[in-house]
Amino acid sequence: MLDINVYLNIKKNSMKKLTDFDSKIFKLISVFFVVATFDVRTMKAAATLELSVRKGISIVIPVCISGLNDASGTQKIIEDNLKCSGFFRILPTVGESSGTPNSEEFVDTVNLQSWSHVPGAMFVQAYLKEENDQQVCRLSFFNALTKRCLGRRVVRQKGSNKRLFAHRISNAIYKQFTGEAGYFHSVIAYTYEIQDSSSRVAKQCVALVSIDGKECKLITSPSRTGAFLPHCARTRPIVTYLIDRGYGQHKQIGVMNFVEKTEFRLPYQRNFNSTRISSDGSEVIFSCSGENGASLFTYNLNSGKAYPLTSAYNSCIDVSPSYSPDGKRMVFVSDREKGIPRLFVSGVHSGDAPLCISQGEGRYFAPAWSPCGKWIAFVKRVRGMHYLCVSDCNGGQERAIARALVIDRPSWGPNSRCLAYASKSGDMAPYKLYIVHAFGNPSGGSTVRLVPTIIQGVSHGANHPSWYPLSLEGHKE
């Protein structure tokens, strides 16, 4: 196993030097530490980076859904999901239906005919039943004008989670009409922050919230050591995070399977700054500070071995790594050029020199590589304001899609169309979670929406989002 003590040259008598140096590192990994203290209006006036938000870029599909008998709120959940995607306009059921669904062959011809005059209108006939202790929804899809059946899908689920069942029905409808996998069942891991009434220190732990904000739960305990900066794998219910062991003590890196409720801690206690996990959950990539700089390492969870990814004797600061979807490349923040934080791309195990891809002015933070592999999202600070930006993986086509006093750590949705990010309106204000359409709302509506984070009736701060493509129960589509 790699001797990280040797690579990083960390000695007991260097702790004071490291403590002073850490403040510089944290300025690179979290925009919280670079919030200016002057008036917000002054900051807005000084900002010059214009937002480039595209609207109405795709065909919006009018759709009517019949047969769900909305006693449990299933139909409303589905309609809200489809509207939030921006690809659908919901057509309400009208008049009296032509009967009650009593078989999968039933079709509500009244509502099918009612919307035939709307160009491009689609009709969905649903049939709900229980089979062998499973909830089952059989869906038939029709062109409202021609009355031609376009296909059928079946959604099955064990358990009594009605909201999850509705999300999975939404996924099936979304997939049928867009050709893309649905994401409405997915969740966002984030740092839960709430002020401790007995002290000025905020409690931090890791929590999960459904993307509609209706289900929210803790996965680490706020009464134990603090946990923050979570990052989720994409194919397994695994999340990695930093563990704060208290004042003056080194941090640890935790890895949890949040379905099985098992936790593993990397066998090191160091000045860790940031951590990410590979898509398949097999490797953890992290930044660790030494006497003169911060370097990137990877730890293989199967072999238990760690390897340096950038020079272990760095005089520069390398932080905030993010894997490409195939795990072969990474993007990270470094101040190796003129001491200004910029984005760099390099091979994970190739040994190639990192390539700077930042092309604009300002300081770059918190990059995230999209699941499709084409895009990189990041936070940019220009003249006191913070912008959520997107570029291609070579740094081209850079544009800003959201702006706020403070924005922290974007995370891509499963379909590479949406981003979750944290933002706050003032130095003492709590962070809140938002979801933004990265390439514009197809319907031309609002591109940003708030994700409520409420546990036991209490709203709390939410920072460092990481979008997990499965459900709270670990369901796969």
Range from 95-109, 163-177, 349-363 that averages highest in pLDDT: 163-177
The whole-number pLDDT of residue 101 equals 65
The whole-number pLDDT of residue 160 equals 82
- The neighbour count for residue 49, using CB atoms within 10 Å, is 20
Does one domain contain both 391 and 304?
yes
Does one domain contain both 293 and 203?
yes
The whole-number pLDDT of residue 16 equals 40
Q: Is residue 42 assigned to a domain? A: no
Q: Which of 431, 433, 424 is nearest to 40 (CA)?
A: 424
Instruction: Tell me the residue range of the domain where 80 lies.
Output: 61-178
Residue 299 confidence class, pLDDT cut points 50, 70, 90: very high
pLDDT digits (tens, 9 = 90+) for 25-68: 544 554 433 333 333 333 333 345 666 655 444 678 999 999 98
Mean pLDDT, the chain, as a whole number? 83
Q: What is the CATH number of the domain that holds 91?
A: 3.40.50.10070
The whole-number pLDDT of residue 34 equals 37
pLDDT digits (tens, 9 = 90+) for 387-437: 999 999 999 999 999 999 899 999 999 999 999 999 998 878 899 999 999
Lowest mean pLDDT among 75-79, 81-85, 181-185, 196-200: 196-200
CA distance 476 to 84: 21
Does one domain contain both 246 and 360?
yes
Q: Is residue 45 assigned to a domain? A: no
Does one domain contain both 86 and 8?
no
* DSSP annotation string for 199-235: SSSEEEEEEEEETTSS-EEESS-TTSSEEEEEEE-SS
Lowest mean pLDDT among 25-39, 79-93, 288-302: 25-39
The last residue of a domain, from among 125, 157, 178: 178
* Average pLDDT estimate for 354-365: 92
* Average pLDDT estimate for 322-347: 93
Percent of the chain with pLDDT over 90: 54
Does one domain contain both 164 and 202?
no
* Average pLDDT estimate for 168-192: 95
- The amino acid present at 159, given as its one-letter code, is G
Q: Which of 252, 448, 287 is nearest to 366 (CA)?
A: 287
* Average pLDDT estimate for 180-190: 94
Q: Is residue 241 assigned to a domain? A: yes
Q: Is residue 50 assigned to a domain? A: no
* Average pLDDT estimate for 16-33: 46
Task: Look at 326 and 312; give whichever has higher pLDDT.
Answer: 326
Does one domain contain both 413 and 271?
yes
Q: Is residue 395 assigned to a domain? A: yes
Q: Is residue 422 assigned to a domain? A: yes
Q: Give counts: helices (H), strands (E), the chain.
A: 6, 31
Does one domain contain both 460 and 319?
yes
The whole-number pLDDT of residue 15 equals 37
* Average pLDDT estimate for 64-91: 89
* Dihedral (CA of 64, 67, 69, 72) sign: negative
The last residue of a domain, from among 121, 145, 178: 178
The long-range contacts involving 337-345, CB below 8 angstroms and separated by at least 24 positions, are 341/28, 341/317, 341/365, 343/367, 343/376, 343/378, 343/395, 344/318, 345/393
Task: Look at 71 and 373; give whichever has higher pLDDT.
Answer: 373
Q: How many domains does the chain have?
A: 2
* Cα–Cα–Cα angle for 337, 343, 346, rounded to 5 degrees: 95
Percent of the chain with pLDDT over 70: 80
The whole-number pLDDT of residue 102 equals 65
Look at residue 477 and tell me whether its pLDDT is greater than 70: no
Q: Is residue 46 assigned to a domain? A: no
Residue 384 confidence class, pLDDT cut points 50, 70, 90: confident
Look at residue 176 and tell me whether its pLDDT is greater than 90: yes
Look at residue 11 and tell me whether its pLDDT is greater than 50: no
Does one domain contain both 169 and 220?
no
Residue 319 confidence class, pLDDT cut points 50, 70, 90: very high
Residue 203 confidence class, pLDDT cut points 50, 70, 90: confident
* Average pLDDT estimate for 276-291: 88
Residue 459 confidence class, pLDDT cut points 50, 70, 90: very high
CA distance 296 to 147: 58
* Average pLDDT estimate for 374-392: 93
Which residues make beta-bridge pairs with 420? 411, 435
Does one domain contain both 87 and 113?
yes
The whole-number pLDDT of residue 240 equals 96
Helix H or strand E segment including 126: strand 122-131
- Residue 371, C-beta contacts closer than 8 angstroms, at least 6 positions apart: 234, 279, 325, 412, 414, 415, 416, 469
Look at residue 1 and tell me whether its pLDDT is greater than 60: no
- The amino acid present at 113, given as its one-letter code, is Q
Place of tokens 């040259």: 9
Q: What is the CATH number of the domain that holds 205?
A: 2.120.10.30
Does one domain contain both 317 and 439?
yes
Q: Is residue 378 assigned to a domain? A: yes
Does one domain contain both 9 and 67?
no
Does one domain contain both 257 and 335?
yes
The whole-number pLDDT of residue 244 equals 87
Task: Assign residue 147 a region (left: φ > 0; alpha: ψ between -120 and 50; beta: otherwise).
Answer: left
The last residue of a domain, from among 178, 200, 220: 178
